[in-house]
Chain A
Amino acid sequence: MQFTRRELAVILAPAAAAVAQTAAPASPADELKAAQARLKTAAGALDRQALPMSTEPAFQFKA
């Protein structure tokens, strides 16, 4: 099976993007920055959720 360059680019683009996004950081400092960035991204996703004021956290305290 033969592909044109354009077809090949379309096929490979998602995989290349995924690899680029998650390429292993080179140093411990970069690794820490990447971990901090992941937590920040997670916090951003949580911030987009609306919450009623009355919603209490899901942990228990028994007096």
Chain B
Amino acid sequence: MGDIGTDIFFATIDELNRKLTSKEISAEELARAFVNRLEQQGPRYNALALPLLQQALKQAKAVDQDIKRGRLRGPLQGVPYGVKDLLAYAGQPTTWGAKPYAAQVFDTNAAVIDKLSGVGAVLAGKLSMVELAGGGGYRYASASLFGPGLNPWDRSCWSGGSSSGSAAAVAAGLVPFAIGSETSGSIVTPASYCGVTALRPTYGLVSRRGAMALSWTLDKLGPFAHTAEDCGTILQAISGKDSDDPGSAGRSFYYTPQYGRALKELKIGYAPVDFADRADPAARPAFQAALEAFKQNGATMVEVKLPQFPYGPALSTILAAEQGSIFEPLITSGKVDQLTDAMQIAGLKASLEVPAKDYLKAMRLRRLMQAAFRRFFSEVDAVVTPGRPGPATKIDQPLDRPAPGSAQPPEGTPPGFQGIIPAGNLAGLPALVLPCGMAGSLPVALQVVGAPFSENLLLTIGRDFQTRTDWHKRRPPGTA
């Protein structure tokens, strides 16, 4: 193999698969190139938790043998990837991004890692994250065993959390795809801030066996990648029934773009205020241009309102009650004080005190929210909003205070879909994040949210957007 250049580090899964099956490059060469790059450049963004060179090379050699013998296992065969460090990988540290768990080692793999191994994907390394996925709430981007996640587009800015390393590594071309998790915003936020495509699947579609539990009724695992197409391919590989995950929906996902509904048959909702007064002033031109580009897809666009519920309070109550039970040993042992962020420590301690009546009330309200979204999605097929109202914040920006330049809508401004992240997570809805423009030197993104199990529809919408725009192909400066 000669100089493989840099284009390959930003290639799609389909492009890599063609190079592998045509034997233009071997899986071993590809694994070595990506793990070396991850090891060398991952620390620039505090994105790397653990490189896995020897394991990756062993796996890649087996893949090369399979390809040589004509045992083709699909588009992910030989493709390297990374996982958020909350997924167990047998015999290696799984830190959950937190000092009290720095030496933790499991003896089995997480279900998604086994599933990806089964289709021949090659695990290149584990990626950084906010400590304990930030469930207690955190004030600073530095709330991580690995330091603050630095944004590949501007290292003075945050990569977002809690799947910080998963988003930054894909954005910087350190892995072709990565697996992250979301309880409330941990896929959507870093994907938006880093300008990568990502999919938060419907609750229960991807097994969480072997993943750190933060909130049993909210946790989901999903892919970060370069395109919507790639997200569909990855989701097909990692979805499916798992009797070891009580939240499993008991169904699989088959990515079937050939059977996608025609966009002109779709009705897509939006709230104009999300692209105007509710967006950061610096991001408004990008969002408005993106909305115009989005509207060219032929679907009928209609103005809609988010069903009104106290989404934030319901989510914080459920999350607190469940994480309080999950991390009770950490909290009562006092080891919680080893965490980095004072707000996170206090949030976890306080979570032991949630009254049962509050948790039950929030969980009962969730039923009404589900019913409201069933009605909502009988009126529209999907809804489009900004992924986040603005670009990534500065690395030292306190996250519990408004950032300079953030939207300060005048009193009386309609709420738009500002509650869509907790709402979507409470109702278990899928969301697809699509890079859609730049606010200065930083990317911004749209999110398309649909009814439970409507991933194929969201991916059809995303693929169309990405055939008419090239934001998903942009590379951060200095990543060549």
Contact = CB atoms under 8 A, between A and B. Distances in A.
B360 interface: yes
B350 A58 contact: no
Interface in A1-26: 14-15, 18-19, 22, 24-25
B350 A36 contact: yes
Interface string A29-40: 001101110110
B312 A15 contact: no
Interface residues of B, number: 40
A31 B346 contact: yes
Given A31-B343, A36-B353, A45-B310, A59 B365 contact: no
Given A24-B398, A43-B313, A46-B313, A51 B365 contact: yes
B289 interface: no
Contact of B345 (A15, A31, A57): A31
B350 A22 contact: no
A58 B309 CA distance: 15
Given A28-B342, A28-B345, A42-B313, A55 B367 contact: yes
Nearest to B349: A32
Contact of A39 (B317, B363, B367, B402): B317
B217 interface: yes
Interface string B334-360: 000000001101110111011100101
A35 B217 contact: no
Contacts of A15: 402, 408
B313 A19 contact: no
Given A18-B401, A41-B313, A59 B345 contact: no
B404 to A, nearest CB: 9
Most A CB within 10 A of own CB, among B342, B355, B361, B365: B342
A22 B401 CA distance: 6
B350 A57 contact: no
B444 interface: no
Contacts of A59: 217, 363
A41 B46 CA distance: 35
A55 B351 CA distance: 25
B368 interface: yes
The 9 closest A-B pairs by CB, nearest first: A57-B363, A42-B313, A35-B350, A45-B313, A58-B366, A31-B346, A35-B346, A45-B310, A32-B346
